[in-house]
Structure 1
Amino acid sequence: MTQYTLIGAASTRAGRALWMLEELGVPYEHVGVKPHAEEVTRHYPRGKVPVLLVDGEPLTDSTAIIQYLADAHGRFTAAAGTLDRARQDAMLHLLLDEFDAVLWTSARHSFILPAERRVPEVKDSLRWEFSVNQASLVRRMGERPYVTGDDFTVADIVLAHCLIWARAAKFEITEPALQDYARRIAERPAFRRVFMKG
């Protein structure tokens, strides 16, 4: 059996990988450390989390990790080489560009960049962009329950995580359909085990 060790606190993007592991129901070890901890830099000198050790071999980047896990276990993803997978990948990249990147830019200008390199004023523009992007996504999803249709996929893990992140960063979820979506996703037992402990 493959040995998985996930390095990174659930409050970071490592939460995405923890959630996927819980959805899959596979055994794993969790080292819940913050970025740049020695447990991280030993495997990834940049110090970013998450890092997934697969039989001791490191894999980095939350999206690469959750897609690898979905492919390896044949769940929560369309099959590679199919049009459904291409559509899933298109939505996944859209979410990374229009949700994750906006939130990450805000974080960089809030506490990550050196103080003299931060431009706090950019956050007003980012909040406007985030709202516009929500409206566009809701139109694209239509009445479908999940990002790519009737089935929960890796794209839903990224979107739902971004909505958690948005709330923490005081970015308003302006679309009622996304508010409803977030409530529904939060009822998933695996989600609750990762994000609603204590």
Structure 2
Amino acid sequence: MYKLYGSIKSRAFRVLWMLEEIGESFEFINASPHHPDVLALNASGKVPVLLDGDAVITDSTAIVTYLADKHGQFTHPAGTIKRAQQDAMTQLVLDEFDSLLWTAARHSFILPQDKRVPEVKESLKWEFERNLERLGQRLSGPFLQGDSFTIADIIATHCLNWALVANFPVSDKGMRAYAKDMREREGFKRAFAHLQE
């Protein structure tokens, strides 16, 4: 059984969703960043942390990639063009959406007060909306890669939900509809139910 440490309001949600999608049993330990249990496993104190037996895996993208590869679900085989395109899409989402949201969060409540530059958030929002419009133009099916639901969809949907909570503009109608459809997946609903625990 897997053990997942993290908060549902963090990137750990991506891993919760993945675990629910693949149908593997797991124990979820609701732990915030820098919790002593997390620090014992990850010196940075960051979540999520996944235990697979005695092996410790950190970083949400690394974890969902590992789970997808191990269980042969929601990914394309390594060494194929489809996998290269999937990896490119995953990196695009991390570079053009996750990084902007994370920078805004850092300048809102994470960095020490004297290190924050709140004014940067307006440019981050502008860049986010521009990037979202470009991604919306590429959307050619129900998922980011057409007919295949992959880990890129998990990360993208998490970013879109994060954007809504952080008051980032999500005005592209196609991407809003895409995110709504992703939230209707049973795996997403089961993962979200952990919020009530």
Sort the TM-score into its range (normalised by shorter chain): over 0.9
Identity %: 51
Q: Give the 3-state SS of the residue equivalent to 1:7 in structure 2.
A: strand
In structure 1, what is the Cα distance between the partners aligned to 2:67 and 2:56? 13
Q: Give the 3-state SS of the residue equivalent to 1:97 in structure 2.
A: helix
Partner of 1:153: 150
Partner of 2:89: 91
In structure 1, what is the Cα distance between the partners aligned to 2:54 and 2:160? 32
Q: Give the 3-state SS of the residue equivalent to 1:6 in structure 2.
A: strand
Partner of 1:122: 120
Aligned ranges 1:72-83 → 2 under 5 Å: 72-83=70-81
Aligned ranges 1:96-111 → 2 under 5 Å: 96-111=94-109
Aligned ranges 1:1-198 → 2 under 5 Å: 3-141=1-139, 143-196=140-193, 197-198=195-196
Q: CA deviation at 1:39?
A: 1.0
Q: CA deviation at 1:56?
A: 2.0
In structure 2, what is the Cα distance between the partners aligned to 1:194 and 1:116? 37
In structure 2, what is the Cα distance between the partners aligned to 1:122 and 1:41? 31
Runs of 4 or more consecutive aligned structure 1 residues displaced over 4 Å after TM superposition? none
In structure 1, what is the Cα distance between the partners aligned to 2:64 and 2:163? 20
Deviates more, 1:166-175 or 1:152-161: 166-175
CA RMSD of aligned residues (A): 0.9
Give the counterpart letter for 1:131 in structure 2.
E
Give the counterpart letter for 2:175 in structure 1.
L
Q: Give the TM-score taking structure 1 as reference length.
A: 0.96
Deviates more, 1:61-70 or 1:131-140: 131-140
In structure 1, what is the Cα distance between the partners aligned to 2:191 and 2:142? 22
Q: CA deviation at 1:139?
A: 1.4
Give the counterpart letter for 2:65 in structure 1.
Q
Q: Give the 3-state SS of the residue equivalent to 2:3 in structure 1.
A: strand
